[in-house]
Structure 1
């Protein structure tokens, strides 16, 4: 399934921000490996493929980003509001108590106002103007750099406004047709300006030109214009009262052509412009240029070109590996070792100790639920991960949230494994990147542990 350009831009921007915590050598090795894999498969590297490569267990769809869900929720609330306003507006325009005709001039003026508002909404999106200031902008701490979503807010607001206006005009037109059926409406025209019937006929016929041959009854004649002119003061002789109802086809086509149709086209244009703007921002993103450079530039290393699993680590961190403590709970990160339940139970101090799942396809709410489930305890927690997958910003955020909810003295044991079925220890090179990751967290009670030779012995030792 092809990813929506807006979601792709936000996912790429988030990943670039998370990568700022990684070393340049690590990023180069990871991204160059993906480019070589694409070259071997005969395909071009892409941003979407790169994201799937570094996040294999998370496949973001179009509607998964919670920031976009906020905009969609806002649009969902404004659609019925626009529909109700359209109904009330048309009821006001067509209010008729029998004492005077419904003025066609007022309806033409209101349709012209709709056109001006539609044009203003489109222009503000094209020029990137945000007249609402920071009303729709999320609150950020001082010094925080703007995100990719900030640059898309004019286009997102235009989509929301055009969709609400489309609902407004469409339900107003449906109200008009309903009133035509259930009431005997009398239309006429009047204006304070000294306008002759000939001039007014030229105006309404110019407006009706698009449907002149499609619906001749909706094309006002000079006779109709002359017979339906009224004045605020004085009595108007009505020779043929039925002629006052002959305006409704013109009013219907006027509203449909100059109010509903432009809003429909501009709503579609707003969505296309949003996608175009997202693609443009992705092409111009500073992180993409750096990513392309890492794709195309070979990694220069001073070690032999052998498989990573048999190589020694280039630089070992100062902290040594720890023995796995007797854990009272275990968290499988991103579905690690899902099919190795007996071996996982052997890592715990008690056979009935709880095992949780977090990261990967789990939502943020589910991750928070895992953290809260383990809050209030002080026993060690084992966090099982895949050693060959580099530590992500998502994992760093999870550990940060866990440390805020748990005691600072609580031991968190990071256990990277090199194989899942059966469980196998990680290579020294793989463990080195996890040790560097633990050092960057600046948490003395975050240990990188080695897989025990006998998991049953760990439980007995506890």
Structure 2
């Protein structure tokens, strides 16, 4: 699935969810500065440029996240429908064209089956337009259990596309199987029905059905003589008045019937489903609450008065409780979301009994196993401290907060975790504003459990927290 509007919507929503952990003043300054930069460059501050700007600020690897996971899940669902449709198409056509030399293949049954396929294709599109979600309970097993207000509104069109792709593969494999059986086998067709239908009425029916391709392939339109000569009855399947030489002349009609009324509608409706996904993604992006907030921040000047209160009679709040702590002598080192790649600094890696990675592309089960392993190490350690390396330029995420909450519940009482933000160049100190966001994060979560420290070569960072407002 490579729909640009859909990926843009999911990336934008993920970024908005991450921004919920940031101070409103910080978001206002950041987005207002972005809007002013776009104005200087003479370009419009579009959501695409804003996301590229945020990813650039976040550093390498910022593009991968919940959006990529959601797209991968739906790619797997689409492939599953396509594989199932291909297999069912082969089996279905083998069943429809089964001929053992006795009773002939009834054209009426094939026409009815094609009509059923056309009806199912139209109902699938109608389901997506109406927003009906018949497969919602099943889709819960494919997700990552993350509550999202977007996915329930996107699922009708996404499931419709998966179903149409499966139907398209069903039609293609069925057509291929039919042509192979026509070449490899001497098929005998005929028509029959329990209703009182004469050859004239049946000829009118098949002529109306063949109208779309009559100009393209006249031989695929059965004439009256063929219809009259191939009718059979259950009491006399081999009537002497019928010419066996004409029993195979139905195959061009059957081929075009399947192509025009099964294959072509599925292909068209699969394209329509793709267009519906794009339209729905654009609508949801335009109506996203985060989009309105972003536009307000970009259009409104950011005023920093130094006052954390709303009462104008208060003096500016210049106090801060943000303090760096000394680096603890911990024997456990965890690297969050690729921090420390490609090589850990010697000052941090030496003397450690456990070094593990967590977050980022690591599965949740692996994160849980790492926390349990750290808990076992802490029970035997005298200093119940853990170092958690992070990338200083990446803002703290909700995933990290969940990881810390799980650690607080699993680890022994009295355990502490020290966040160690690393700069892009390990031999340099992080920027002041980057360290401040981690200090604010530590105080906002669990100040008695989470602290912030710097590497020994960075301990000379001058006054990183003095005079800085929250």
* TM-fit CA distance, 1:281: 1.1
SS of 2:132's equivalent?
Answer: coil
- CA shift, 1:450, in A, is 4.8
Match of 1:170 in 2: 172
- 2: CA distance between counterparts of 1:340 and 1:247? 71
More displaced 10-residue stretch of structure 1: 407-416 or 363-372:
363-372
Q: Label 1:42 to 1:359 Cα distance change in 2 as closer, same or farther (>3 A).
A: farther
102, 112, 116: which one pairs with 1:99? 102
Q: Is contact 1:335-1:357 (8 Å) kept?
A: yes
Structure 2 runs not aligned, ≥5 long:
307-315, 379-383, 461-470
Match of 2:28 in 1: 28
Query: Shift of the alpha carbon at 1:453?
Result: 5.5
2:61 counterpart residue number: 58
Return the match for 1:434 from 438, 454, 466.
438
Relative to 1, partners in 2 of residues 1:89 and 1:419: Cα closer, same or farther, differing over 3 Å? closer
Secondary structure of 1:423's match? coil
| 8 Å contact from structure 2 (residues 59, 394) kept in 1 | no
* Matched residue SS, 2:284: helix
Cα distance between partner residues in 2 of 1:416 and 1:37: 28
1:237 maps to 2:240:
yes
Structure 1 pair 222–433 and aligned structure 2 pair: CA distance change class (3 A): same
Superposed CA deviations along residues 281-301 of structure 1, whole A, max 9, x for unmatched, are 111111111111112211111
Q: Which residue of 1 aligns with 2:197?
A: 195
CA 58–33 in structure 1, closer or farther in 2 if over 3 Å, else same = farther
Cα deviation, 1:310-334, whole Å, max 9, x if unaligned, reads: xxx9754435332221232444545
Alpha-carbon deviations, 1:261-281, whole Å to 9, x = none? 111221222122222212221
Give the Cα–Cα distance (whole angstroms) in 2 for the partners of residues 79 and 286 of structure 1: 36
Post-superposition shift, 1:411?
2.0
Q: State the secondary structure of the residue aligned to 1:82.
A: helix
- The 5 Å alignment of 1:265-280 reads 265-280=268-283
- 1:291 maps to which of 294, 304, 307: 294
The CA distance in 2 between the partners of 1:120 and 1:415, in whole Å, is 56
Q: Deviations over 1:30-55 (max 9, x none)?
A: 32233333334443333344334333
Partner secondary structure for residue 167 of structure 1: helix
Residue-pair matches, total? 440
> Cα 1:33–1:381, aligned 2, differ >3 Å: closer, same or farther?
farther
Cα distance in 2 for partners of 1:435, 1:206 equals 76
Q: Which residue of 2 aligns with 1:449?
A: 453
* CA displacement at 1:139 relative to structure 2: 10
Stretches of structure 1 lacking an aligned partner (at least 5 in a row): 304-312, 457-462
Structure 1 match to 2:386: 381
CA distance in 2, matches of 1:241, 1:340: 79
Separation (CA, whole Å) in 1 of partners of 2:102 and 2:434: 87
Q: Identify the match of residue 413 of structure 1 among 418, 430, 434.
A: 418
Contact 1:3 1:62 in 2 (8 A): no
1:239 CA displacement = 4.7
Matched residues in 2 for 1:37 and 1:408: separation? 49
Offset at residue 397 of structure 1 (A): 3.2
Question: TM (normalized to structure 1)?
Answer: 0.83
Residues in 2 aligned to 1:3 and 1:61: alpha-carbon distance in whole angstroms: 16
Instruction: Give, in angstroms, the shift of residue 170 of structure 1.
Output: 1.8
Q: Does 1:46 align with 2:50?
A: no
Native 8 Å contact 1:326 1:347 kept in 2: no
Correspondence for 2:5: 5
For 2:419 and 2:403, the matched residues in 1 are separated by 13
Where does residue 127 of structure 2 map in the other structure?
124
2:65, 2:447 → 1: CA distance? 36
**CA 1:454/1:439 → structure 2, altered by over 3 Å: closer, same or farther?**
closer
Pairwise CA RMSD = 3.4
Matched residue of 1:184: which SS?
coil
Give the direction of change, closer, same or farther, for the CA distance of 1:196–1:128 in structure 2 (3 Å limit): same
CA spacing shift, 1:382–1:188, aligned 2, 3 Å: same
Change (3 A) 1:204 1:454: closer
Change (3 A) 1:330 1:163: same
CA distance in 2, matches of 1:107, 1:319: 76
For the residue of structure 2 that corresponds to 1:414, the secondary structure is: strand
Q: Closer, same or farther in 2 for the Cα pair 1:20/1:345, shift >3 Å? A: same
User: How far apart in 1 are the matches of 2:8 and 2:269?
Assistant: 24
